[in-house]
Amino acid sequence: MAFLDKMSDLGKSVAKKSGEAVDAAKIKLKISEHKSRIREYKIQMGSDVCQAYEAGELLDDNGLYQLYLKVRDEEEAIKGLEASL
């Protein structure tokens, strides 16, 4: 019986480790999604600046600031997710 108990404990341990690995993978996927949004926001910011310069217009500081705030929010979300790993 001791052998069966050890096998049962081993099975439980493997299941727990597998669950932890899946949870970590989900968190890493969320981090990747946040980083992707950051790249998109920064690309949009750069595009907005270039278009304004090309048109000889003054920059819309508020619009750029709002994109910056989105970037900052995504970075904060990443920090929180990384802390949970």
Per-residue pLDDT tens over the stretch 30-85:
999 999 999 999 999 889 888 887 888 876 677 888 888 899 999 999 999 999 98
Quickly list H helices, the chain. 2-54, 61-83
- 13-25, pLDDT tens digit by residue? 777 788 888 899 9
Q: Total domain count for the chain? A: 1
Phi and psi (nearest 5°) for 66? -65, -40
Tell whether 43 is covered by a domain.
yes
Instruction: Give domain status of residue 48, yes or no.
Output: yes
| Residue 82 burial by Cβ neighbours in a 10 Å radius (0-12, 13-18, 19+) | exposed
- Structure tokens given for 61: 């500081």
* 27 neighbors 84 (Cβ within 8 angstroms): yes
Residue 43 belongs to what domain range? Answer: 24-83
Asked if the structure places residue 3 within a domain, the reply is no
